[in-house]
Amino acid sequence: MGGMELTMSLKERDRLVTLRALDAGRLTQRQAAEQLGITERQVRRSLQRFRAQGDAGLVHRSRGQPSNRRLPPEFREQVLAIVRERYHDFGPTFAAEKLAEGHSLRVSSETLRKWMSEDGLWRPKPRKMTHRARRERKDCFGEMGQLDGSHHDWFEGRAPAPVLISTVDDATSRIFARFAPAETSEAVMALLRDYIASFGRPLSLYADRHSIYQVNRPATIEEQLQGVQAETQVRRALRELGIEYIPAYSPQAKGRVERSFGTLQDRLVKELRLQGISDIDSANRFLEERFLPAYNHDFARPPARTHDAHRSPDGLDLDAILSHQETRTVTNDYTISYDSTHYQIARDSVVAGLRGGKVIVERRLDGSVHVRLRDRYLTVTALPPPQPQAAAEPIDA
């Protein structure tokens, strides 16, 4: 009997004490039922088993027997064979999703985690023990976005690695992202243009102190005349859009976007592999049409307040604001020089004070060049490069 007690659960041992007292007449059936939280009929049946079988009669009769809900071994092997072939580097949760989505095989992530661990296909990552003061989320969608770029081998060597430019809404963890060849001002502005077209202008953007956002130079004369500090193209665009730039002083400060990159570097890489995608245009279409809607459906959360803090872009020329802008001086023949090309200002655009004056040259995201005198655009024509002079014919002696 002592050996049997060692295999009993705590609940079974408690029931044994009560039934022994009932059998000895120290408790009534009603008292025993109250102590055990069962009916008197169940008490009588338990007492009968106890008197007939002793302590062993109280051990659950399915102990040591396979569960009725246990999945067949053949199903386990079928699942693991597919995981080994196609999803060997997937986490259990993601692999379970893909098995249901692509193979109509439904298995819980916890069951698959156990199977993959037993098969050596999964080893949990150790958690780092860190302590940081938690910053509360913003309350509203559009109140603040965390913006960053992730340099990673997204195509797993099938093509040159792009960079993923991403913004994560602080209140909802909703992601908006695009691939680009490199992390440049133009790539960030292209993302902002698409984001604003979709949702409107956020109140602020939380980004690192990359040279895209901060400069270490004195303000130019034009900047001083405008009363602004030295700023990058992106900072100028944010100022004109009325979006506050908040610098982050550590990667941990941008916790939501940093954690999202960890998830994307796992899930998105594998999705691109499964789709056979290895170019930026196809990857961006897949992001926009399939991946991000599903990702945000699964991982985004509702904001604390339902008010949408985004503001309308109506009345703003986004193409002009989200461009690379430089100042040029108009020469006496009404030309300007920009990017190794001379541009002739059309006669009907000439106004008093233009010659020797300053104009703004905009190189827009589509590659087109526009020249602006304050708020008025000038008509310009690119001049052909000067032809080298032909060598003089030698004079016969």
CATH of the domain at 162: 3.30.420.10
Mean pLDDT over 260-270 rounds to 88
* pLDDT score at 247: 87
Phi, psi (degrees; rounded to nearest 5) at 288? -70, -45
* pLDDT surpassing 70 at residue 277: yes
For the chain, give the mean pLDDT: 85
167/243 same-domain check: yes
Q: If we measure between CA atoms, which residue out of 115, 88, 83 comes closest to residue 100?
A: 83
* pLDDT score at 17: 82
Q: Give the domain-ending residue among 58, 85, 104.
A: 58
Q: How confident is the model at residue 9 (pLDDT cuts 50, 70, 90)?
A: low
Are residues 360 and 236 in contact, defined by beta-carbon separation less than 8 angstroms? Answer: no
Is 395 part of any domain?
A: no
Q: Which domain holds residue 246?
A: 145-299
Are residues 47 and 22 in contact, defined by beta-carbon separation less than 8 angstroms? Answer: yes
Are residues 268 and 291 in contact, defined by beta-carbon separation less than 8 angstroms? Answer: yes
176/274 same-domain check: yes
Is 140 part of any domain?
A: no
The encoded tokens of residue 361 equal 């040259």
Burial of 349: CB neighbours in 10 Å, binned 0-12, 13-18, 19+:
middle
48/78 same-domain check: no
271/204 same-domain check: yes
Q: What tens digit of pLDDT does each residue of 172-199 get?
A: 999 999 999 999 999 999 999 999 999 9
* pLDDT surpassing 70 at residue 64: no
Q: What percent of the chain has a predicted confidence (pLDDT) above 90?
A: 48
What is the number of domains present in the chain? 4
Mean pLDDT over 383-395 rounds to 73
* pLDDT score at 4: 41
Number of helical H runs and strand E runs in the chain: 14, 12
Q: Rounded CA gap, 153 and 247, in Å?
A: 27
Is 390 part of any domain?
A: no
Q: Rounded CA gap, 338 and 331, in Å?
A: 12
* pLDDT score at 130: 54
The encoded tokens of residue 167 equal 């913004």
* Residues linked to residue 362 through DSSP beta bridges, in sequence order: 325, 370
Q: Rounded CA gap, 147 and 161, in Å?
A: 20
Are residues 244 and 205 in contact, defined by beta-carbon separation less than 8 angstroms? Answer: yes
Distance of CA 325 to the CA centre of its chain: 30
* pLDDT surpassing 70 at residue 288: yes
Is 131 part of any domain?
A: no
Q: If we measure between CA atoms, which residue out of 102, 109, 112 comes closest to residue 79?
A: 112
Is 155 part of any domain?
A: yes
158/279 same-domain check: yes
358-363 and 324-329 strand pairing: antiparallel
Name the helix (H) or strand (E) containing 99: helix 92-103
150/295 same-domain check: yes
166/284 same-domain check: yes
260/367 same-domain check: no
221/331 same-domain check: no
Q: What tens digit of pLDDT does each residue of 294-327 get?
A: 999 999 999 999 999 999 999 999 999 999 999 9
Is 13 part of any domain?
A: yes
Q: What Rg, from alpha-carbon coordinates, does the chain have?
A: 35
Burial of 277: CB neighbours in 10 Å, binned 0-12, 13-18, 19+:
buried
Are residues 288 and 191 in contact, defined by beta-carbon separation less than 8 angstroms? Answer: no
Is 91 part of any domain?
A: yes
356/231 same-domain check: no
Q: Is 155 or 90 the better-scoring residue by pLDDT?
A: 155
The structure tokens 């295999």 sit at 7
Q: What tens digit of pLDDT does each residue of 100-155 get?
A: 888 988 888 888 888 888 888 888 776 665 545 556 888 999 999 999 999 999 99
* pLDDT surpassing 60 at residue 251: no
Q: Is 192 or 386 the better-scoring residue by pLDDT?
A: 192
294/178 same-domain check: yes
Q: Give the domain-ending residue among 13, 30, 58.
A: 58
Is 313 part of any domain?
A: no
172/218 same-domain check: yes
* Residues linked to residue 328 through DSSP beta bridges, in sequence order: 359
pTM of the model: 0.69
